[in-house]
């Protein structure tokens, strides 16, 4: 049961409704993608609906899939996008994405604290270790997941130390005495670790609202250990209810083992929804969004995600656990690979069903297709089952799908007591319930 809990809801600022051939629709608004005004308008709509935060993923490479028939070109720097949005909004949180694999912690600590100041306490950090892009930062190959997460753990520790090195209380502005700041409250961190050596202190004081919340997206075993240690929220990959219950239960258990309150971590999967006035329309939107993916591309995606080649099998051939490749072989994403492994082991699906999975045609997001009432029921089912604490909205199919989300779905969640009608705080920490 929900026990009077309320959902935590964010909106992805990526134009997910333009995936596939969606950008070709007359009402897609694709021509507006190159203007910051487009994203500012979306931010204002989300704030009007009292959403907790805006979320923006990031890419540090250009893959072939981003070019050609896809309305995609990677990503502008999300922190710069949010710096512009900060001046046009007042309450909604701003969760930017920054990699710990390819950036120095001092620069990141300063960027995030700057966004925190610009937004008056609304910044959030989606911590990623990246899965591709090493060639853009030198001649070294991509580090293993274990190395990337070890580096991320030290990285976040350094960032926190830097934020603490110049506390807000150090600024006193005493005109009478002529003392602007107290020197003894600002100190070097003198960090020397396996990956970083940073003296500090940071060049600016911490914001009075408190530290910046951490989001994290990895759901592999290594990622879960990292998340249970540092994260306030998880952008989780969970294509079905069972995987959601398992992930949330496991993360809460690990958080408790780390000495944390299990309620301190909010599990927020991406909800990729296709909303329409009728189920038939919604199903057509979903079908159209993936129509551009040929069988050849699906087979290539499956090999990239899982290392499994089904190209020689008939579509009705059952895929069983004994057909799965070595779990230790390199794959694009361990999270998606483990989700697919679990699905195949538990269900023995056909090759056609495997090739239609979100991990293959999308990115392992929870997909909900139907009317507003259908999707609300889907949300309530997962919430009451203990699979989610909320979600990050990924509108699919068309701009109308997004409009229905704001105009009809969100009011229904408010009516049912699952979401607030007004903001109760002004910072992201307050929206997330962080004390």
Binding residues for FMN: 58, 97, 149, 220
Question: Can you tell me whether residue 340 is helix, strand or coil?
Answer: helix
What are the beta bridge partners of residue 267?
A: 234
End-to-end CA distance of the chain: 24
Contacts of 253 (CB under 8 A, 6+ apart): 262
Question: Can you tell me whether residue 364 is helix, strand or coil?
Answer: coil
Q: What is the DSSP letter of 65?
A: G
| Residue 263, token pair as written in the block | 């309620």
Q: Rounded to an integer, what is the distance from CA 337 to the centroid of its chain? A: 18
Q: Is the C-alpha dihedral spanning 35, 36, 41, 42 positive or negative? A: positive
Q: Report yes or no: 268 and 391 within 8 Å, Cβ to Cβ.
A: yes
Give the residue numbers of the binding site: 58, 97, 149, 220
Give CA–CA dist 397/285, Å, rounded.
Answer: 5
Give CA–CA dist 25/104, Å, rounded.
Answer: 42
Question: Can you tell me whether residue 391 is helix, strand or coil?
Answer: strand
Q: Side-chain half-sphere of 62: how many Cα atoms within 13 Å?
A: 9
Phi, psi dihedral angles at 244 (to 5 degrees)? -70, -45
Give Cα separations from 259 to 227, 250, 265 (angstroms).
13, 14, 13
Q: What is the DSSP letter of 320?
A: -
H-helix or E-strand spanning residue 192? strand 191-192
Phi-psi region of 165 (alpha: psi -120 to 50; beta: other; left: phi over 0): alpha
Give CA–CA dist 364/347, Å, rounded.
Answer: 17
User: CA nearest 232: which of 11, 434, 9?
Assistant: 434
Task: Report the largest interatomic distance among the alpha carbons of the chain, rounded to a whole angstrom.
Answer: 83
Give CA–CA dist 205/180, Å, rounded.
Answer: 13
């Amino acid at each position: 049961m929900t026990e009077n809990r309320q959902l935590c809801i964010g909106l992805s600022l990526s134009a997910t409704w333009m995936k596939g051939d969606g950008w070709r629709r007359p009402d897609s608004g694709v021509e507006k993608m190159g203007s910051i005004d487009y994203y500012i308008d979306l931010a204002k709509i989300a704030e009007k609906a009292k959403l907790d935060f805006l979320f923006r993923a990031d890419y540090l490479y250009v893959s072939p899939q981003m070019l050609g028939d896809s309305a995609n070109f990677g990503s502008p720097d999300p922190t710069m996008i949010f710096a512009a949005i900060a001046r046009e909004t007042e309450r909604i949180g701003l969760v930017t994405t920054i990699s710990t694999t390819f950036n120095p912690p001092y620069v990141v600590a300063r960027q995030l604290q700057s966004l925190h100041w610009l937004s008056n306490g609304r910044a959030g950090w989606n911590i990623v270790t990246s899965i591709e892009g090493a060639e853009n930062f030198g001649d070294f190959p991509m580090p293993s997941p274990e190395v990337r997460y070890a580096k991320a753990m030290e990285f976040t520790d350094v960032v926190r130390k830097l934020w603490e090195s110049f506390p807000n209380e150090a600024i006193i502005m005493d005109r009478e005495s002529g003392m602007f700041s107290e020197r003894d409250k600002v100190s070097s961190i003198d960090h020397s670790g396996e990956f970083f050596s940073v003296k500090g202190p940071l060049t600016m004081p911490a914001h009075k609202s408190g530290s910046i919340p951490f989001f994290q997206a990895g759901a592999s075993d290594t990622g879960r250990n990292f998340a249970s240690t540092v994260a306030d929220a998880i952008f989780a990959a969970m294509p079905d209810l069972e995987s959601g219950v398992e992930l949330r239960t496991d993360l809460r258990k690990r958080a408790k083992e780390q000495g944390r309150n299990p309620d301190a971590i909010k599990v927020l999967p991406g909800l990729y929804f296709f909303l329409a006035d009728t189920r038939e329309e919604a199903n057509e939107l979903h079908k159209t969004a993936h129509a551009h993916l040929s069988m050849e591309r699906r087979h290539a995606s499956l090999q990239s995600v899982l290392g499994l080649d089904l190209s020689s099998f008939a579509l009705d051939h059952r895929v069983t656990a004994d057909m799965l490749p070595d779990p230790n072989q390199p794959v694009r994403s361990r999270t998606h690979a483990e989700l697919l492994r679990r699905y195949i082991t538990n269900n023995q699906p056909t090759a056609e069903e495997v090739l239609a999975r979100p991990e293959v045609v999308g990115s392992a997001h929870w997909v909900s297709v139907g009317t507003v009432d259908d999707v609300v029921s889907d949300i309530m089912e997962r919430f009451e089952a203990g699979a989610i604490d909320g979600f990050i909205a990924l509108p699919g199919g068309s701009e109308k799908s997004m409009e229905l989300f704001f105009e009809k779905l969100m009011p229904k969640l408010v009516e049912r007591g699952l979401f607030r009608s007004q903001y109760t705080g002004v910072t992201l920490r307050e929206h997330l319930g962080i004390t």
